[in-house]
Structures are given as structure tokens and as C-alpha cells.
């Protein structure tokens, strides 16, 4: 379902205003370099050049417009050249930051993997990525140190087991988030597996949607814990039951974080499972046709939704794209539980159990992925899942196998019963590989976990700590209890060092919000464990019965937040 846009407005005095580059209003001429590159050649076309030319002639043969643009359509970014400190991130030209190696993102829609797929990724990590593998907060797995010469073979091996890197990055529909327990959770509203498969087939690799104003993030789930954080996706389908007892979806649009965070808004409609494909294409089409293309920092759907409002958005969706109205529908029930990550041991519908575990800040490697596959297979499971919290889940564990699989995972430092700090600390890629980063994140967050476990061994309240290497919020800084945004700060000796701006009390769920900013609240990286220990201790001492960290932050004295 593709709605071509071709309206041309009549301009006063025959002079068209500059506008926001919206195709549906006739503004087809590219208004920046990114739009010009996309007009010159669809990003999907770079695949054949990688296979036929670049992989054979090497890194130096790559057209710059492909290297820093279209290759993202296949999950490839050049990684950061080693040795460049964070102070130079915003100063150097792209070619000065580029290494000759790539980050490769393997898309895992719905987080769904079988053991053959997991082992294939593990083999690729060991053979081509120096063993690296990171679980992301969007259910993908990222590899590093990839050479262009290896890419065709990697694609062939991934595609042989039903995986790909197609549109894992770029101005495209990104990975489709789904509950890792779809089809097995005893409390789910409905199983969204078929809808995830349908959306993937309809939009991924489809030239009708391969030139969007910017990235486009989808979540689709019937999970009662709301584990796909629908509140911060461009479009989200949330499982609900209507007044007639029919299971379907509530539609949300316009969420997103980065430097201008906005929460998604309900359209107030009820979407039957058989309507999801058309509705998703309709929302994607609105973004393509009406989305702002003039300025990159305003080219996300959230800005259009914010300007239009939900009433107009619903009207355009129904009248121009669906050609029929959608019925009003109920809001979702509040999320089940205070942690939305599926870590632990829980029953499935069929009498078996699923076992969710926590690697440290999502960092694994090829050998560890093989170990996870072997452990799952030994205990009767052929299916594993990734989560949006940088965690993993083994499905289909028989009751008599639960104790032994838990023991094996724990022995492998894959914690099934982790501390709060291991369970709820996330970190983005950081300066180790990312060209946008200002500070190191993964190792620092892992060390922070160790320090906090040692200093606060009895603390067990829910507490999210999200560590980000730059302002772009890949690790969802603004929605964390303690959000850490990497920047350079001045230490006690007047030296410029790595540090963090601190954001406190963000949350998603019943009282979603971006928390409280305290003027000038920063810390050096060295002093980070002392700061977190201090503020968490204040909360632990002052909290009322059942009071969350986010609620405490709103009433706490500023002195207790510093």
C-alpha cells in the first residue's frame, strides 16, 4: 500500500516558500546533502556495488556518498579511528574520524533467534569481527572491525539462516521491536509474531519506503509488561482488548528521544491484527510524504505529530492512506511489574519455563554466543531471544531442567538473578567505536556495576542507570532513573576530562516523563561511582513505602541529588 505524493500548491505571487521539504506539498528538490544523495541513488542500490566493486577493490574504492550515507541502508557504519579523543569529535571532518573498519548491525526483528542463527552470528564475530558482539537496546547484535572485503560472505552466511542487515541503519524502517515472549507468555494480551513477520515482509527492502526523512522506529507487542517501550517509538502497536472482548492494538505515534525528546501520543483507535500491515504502511507513508526534510534535526516523525496534533494525524491516516475510518479503542492497561526486561525464571503457557539473563551492559563475544547456544541446546531449547534492555532469554526450558540451566548460565557470568545494578544498567557503544561519542561507556558502565555491587550489596529496588557517550540518547538517557550523558568536564585540578551530565528521575509507564534536571549537575568519570553511591544511598534512606526513585527525585532536596 503505497500512496504516491504529487500535490503542488499554488504559491502567492508565483513564489513558493521554502517550506520543510515535504513531498506531499510539492517540495521535491533536495534541501540538504543527505536528501540530495538519496535522490541521486536509492540506498538499497549500494548492495550490488559492495558485492561487485568495493569488496573486490578495497576500502579506498568506496564512493564517499556510499561510505558515509548509503552503506547504512545495509547496517554498515565506519567505526571511529582509534586514538581520537572526545574533544575532537565535533571538530574533525568525517574522513578524519573514519577508520577503515565497519560496525555491522544485524537486525533481529522481534528479537527472535534460533540456535543456527545465533551460532552463525557467533562464527561471523569470531572470524571477521575480532570476536566482538554487542547486544543493543533495540534487539539487534552489533559487530565491529568488519572489513569491506568480508561483507559479501557475511551477508551470504546470514541470509542462509534467515537473517540480514538490510535497513538496519539509514533513513529507513529500522528493526521491528517485539516482545521476546510472544506466543509463550502466560499474561500476554495477544501474540504479535505474525504481525511482526508481515510488517517485515511489506516494508523492509521495499523501495516505496527506502527514502524516509530519517530513521523510523517501530514497536509491536501484546506484552502486558510493555517491554517494547512504545512511549518512545515513531509508531507503536500496543496490545489491548476492546469493549467486545476482541484483542487488537492501540496505536501510538511520534515518540523519540535524542536532543529533543518527545513521548508518543495515542491516536485513540483500535487496530485489528489483520489491519496492522495497512495501518503501519499508512503511518510510514505519512512520514515519507509529509515528514520534514529540510533540517536533519527536525526530520523525525515526532516533530510532524507535535505540529499537527493527533486529531489531524488520525484524519490524514484514515482519509488519505487507509480510505476508511478506524474505530475508537481503549488505552492499554498499566504495565505489569516495575521492571520491563523479562530477566529471571517464569512459566510459559505450555508448562515449560523461560529463563532471562543479564550479560554485563550487553557486551558479549563470539565465544559467549556459542556458549549460550550450547547451554540452551543442552537443556532442550532451540529458541533464544534478545530484549531491548541488552539482555537475552532462553525459551522452552522443561521444569526439570530449570535448576541446571540457571546454574550453567550463572557459572558463565550470565546472571539469571542479577543485582539491580547488573540488571538495570545499560550503555551505548561509546568512544571505543562510535564517531559521535565524546566519552567511553561500556567499560566504565561495567566497572560502575562492580563498584555499586560492592558498596551497596543489599540495595534491591528497581533503578535504571543509562550511560550514553554523547547527547543523542541511544541508551535512552532521558527516561532512566539516572541518565548519564557523556561530555567533557573540568576536574578539581582545572583539567578537561571525560565526564557526564546527570539527568535524574526519568521514567516510562503510568507516569512517563523526562525527569528532573538540576542546574550544573555533572561528574567526572573518575568520580562517577562516588556520585551514584551517594544519591542512591540518599534515596534508600529517605524513600517512603513503595516510593520509586523517580518519585523521590521529584520531592528531594537539591542537596541530596548532588
The predicted pLDDT at position 289 comes to 98
At how many degrees (to 10) do helices 402-411 and 366-378 cross?
160
Query: Under CATH, which number does the domain 423-561 receive?
Result: 3.30.413.10
Q: Read out DSSP for 406-437?
A: HHHHHHTT-BSS--HHHHSEEE---TTT-TT-
CA–CA gap between residue 495 and residue 308 (Å, rounded): 47
Residue 263 cell numbers, joined: 513521548
Query: Given this model, what pLDDT does residue 18 score?
Result: 62
Beta-carbon contacts of residue 166 (< 8 Å; ≥ 6 apart): 44, 73, 74, 75, 107, 204, 205
**Residue 95 CB-density burial (10 A; 0-12 exposed, 13-18 middle, 19+ buried):** exposed
235 vs 87: CA distance, rounded Å: 35
Residue 88: per-residue pLDDT: 94
Domain spans of the chain, in order of start: 423-561
pLDDT digit string (tens) for the chain, length 562 residues: 544 444 334 333 344 446 899 999 999 999 999 999 999 999 999 999 999 999 999 999 999 999 999 999 999 999 999 999 999 999 999 889 999 999 999 999 999 999 999 999 999 999 999 999 999 999 999 999 999 999 999 999 999 999 999 999 999 999 999 999 999 999 999 999 999 999 999 999 999 999 999 999 999 999 999 999 999 999 999 999 999 999 999 999 999 999 899 999 999 999 999 999 999 999 999 999 999 999 999 999 999 999 999 999 999 999 999 999 999 999 999 998 888 889 999 999 999 999 999 999 999 999 999 999 999 999 999 999 999 999 999 999 999 999 999 999 999 999 999 999 999 999 999 999 999 999 999 999 999 999 999 999 999 999 999 999 999 999 999 999 999 999 999 999 999 999 999 999 999 988 899 988 888 999 999 999 999 999 999 999 999 999 999 999 999 999 999 9
Look at strands 522-524 and 112-114 and give their pairing: unpaired
Q: Which helix (H) or strand (E) holds 20?
A: none
Question: What pLDDT score does 510 carry?
Answer: 84
| Distances 403 to 4, 354, 406 between C-alpha atoms, Å | 56, 12, 5
How much is the pTM?
Answer: 0.95
**What is the pLDDT, as a whole number, of residue 14?**
40
Alpha-carbon torsion 473, 478, 480, 484, what sign? positive
Distance CA 257, CA 302 (A): 9
CB 170 within 8 A of CB 198: no
Give the closest residue to 20 by CA, choosing from 290, 262, 309.
Answer: 290
Cα separation, 263 vs 252, in Å, equals 10
Side-chain half-sphere CA neighbours of 308 within 13 A? 22
Amino acid at each position: 500500500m503505497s500512496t504516491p505524493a504529487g500535490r503542488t500548491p499554488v504559491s502567492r505571487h508565483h513564489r513558493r516558500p521554502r517550506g520543510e521539504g515535504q513531498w506531499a506539498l510539492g517540495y521535491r528538490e533536495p534541501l540538504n546533502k543527505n536528501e540530495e544523495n538519496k535522490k541521486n541513488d536509492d540506498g538499497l542500490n549500494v548492495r550490488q556495488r559492495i558485492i561487485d566493486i568495493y569488496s573486490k577493490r578495497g576500502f579506498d574504492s568506496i564512493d564517499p556518498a556510499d561510505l558515509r550515507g548509503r552503506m547504512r541502508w545495509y547496517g554498515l557504519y565506519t567505526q571511529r579511528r582509534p586514538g581520537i579523543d572526545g574533544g575532537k569529535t565535533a571538530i574533525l571532518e568525517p574522513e578524519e574520524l573514519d577508520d577503515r573498519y565497519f560496525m555491522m548491525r544485524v537486525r533481529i526483528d522481534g528479537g527472535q533467534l534460533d540456535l543456527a542463527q545465533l551460532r552463525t552470528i557467533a562464527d561471523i564475530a569470531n572470524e571477521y569481527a575480532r570476536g566482538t558482539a554487542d547486544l543493543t537496546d533495540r534487539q539487534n547484535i552489533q559487530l565491529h572491525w568488519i572489513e569491506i572485503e568480508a561483507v559479501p560472505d557475511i551477508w551470504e552466511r546470514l541470509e542462509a539462516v534467515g537473517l540480514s542487515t538490510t535497513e538496519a541503519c539509514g533513513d529507513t524502517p529500522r528493526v521491528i521491536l517485539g516482545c521476546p515472549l510472544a506466543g509463550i507468555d502466560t499474561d500476554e494480551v495477544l501474540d504479535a509474531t505474525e504481525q511482526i513477520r508481515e510488517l517485515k515482509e511489506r516494508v523492509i527492502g521495499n523501495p516505496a519506503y527506502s527514502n524516509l526523512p530519517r530513521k523510523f522506529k517501530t514497536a509491536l507487542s501484546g506484552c502486558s509488561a510493555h517491554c517494547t517501550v512504545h512511549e518512545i517509538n515513531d509508531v507503536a502497536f500496543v496490545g489491548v482488548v476492546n469493549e467486545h472482548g476482541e484483542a487488537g492494538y492501540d496505536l501510538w505515534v511520534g515518540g523519540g528521544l535524542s536532543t529533543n525528546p518527545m513521548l508518543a501520543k495515542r491516536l485513540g483507535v483500535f487496530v485489528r491484527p489483520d489491519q496492522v500491515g495497512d495501518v503501519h504502511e499508512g503511518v510510514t507513508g505519512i512520514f515519507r510524504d509529509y515528514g520534514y526534510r529540510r533540517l536533519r534535526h527536525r526530520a523525525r516523525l515526532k516533530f510532524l505529530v507535535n505540529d499537527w496534533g493527533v486529531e489531524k494525524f488520525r484524519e490524514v491516516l484514515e482519509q488519505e492512506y487507509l480510505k476508511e475510518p478506524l474505530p475508537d479503542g481503549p488505552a492499554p492497561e498499566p504495565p505489569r511489574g516495575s521492571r520491563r526486561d523479562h530477566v529471571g525464571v517464569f512459566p510459559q503457557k505450555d508448562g515449560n519455563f523461560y529463563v532471562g539473563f543479564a550479560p554485563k551492559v550487553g557486551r558479549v563475544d563470539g565465544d559467549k554466543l556459542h556458549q549460550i547456544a550450547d547451554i540452551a541446546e543442552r537443556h532442550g531449547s532451540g529458541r533464544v531471544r534478545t530484549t531491548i534492555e541488552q539482555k537475552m532469554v532462553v525459551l522452552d526450558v522443561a521444569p526439570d531442567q530449570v535448576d541446571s540451566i540457571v546454574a550453567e548460565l550463572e557459572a558463565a557470568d550470565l546472571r539469571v538473578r542479577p543485582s539491580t545494578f547488573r540488571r538495570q544498567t545499560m550503555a551505548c557503544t561509546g568512544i571505543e567505536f562510535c564517531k559521535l561519542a565524546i566519552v567511553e561507556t561500556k567499560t566504565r558502565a561495567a566497572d560502575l556495576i562492580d563498584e555499586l555491587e560492592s558498596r551497596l550489596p543489599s540495595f534491591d529496588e528497581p533503578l535504571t542507570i543509562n550511560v550514553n557517550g554523547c547527547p543523542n540518547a541511544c541508551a535512552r538517557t532521558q527516561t532512566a532513573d539516572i541518565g548519564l550523558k557523556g561530555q567533557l568536564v573540568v576536574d578539581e585540578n582545572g583539567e578537561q576530562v571525560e565526564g557526564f551530565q546527570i539527568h535524574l528521575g526519568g521514567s516510562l509507564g503510568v507516569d512517563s516523563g523526562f525527569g528532573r534536571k538540576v542546574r550544573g549537575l555533572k561528574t567526572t568519570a573518575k568520580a562517577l561511582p562516588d556520585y551514584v553511591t551517594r544519591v542512591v544511598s540518599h534515596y534508600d534512606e529517605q524513600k517512603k513505602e513503595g516510593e520509586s526513585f523517580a518519585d523521590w527525585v521529584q520531592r528531594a532536596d537539591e542537596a541530596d541529588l548532588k
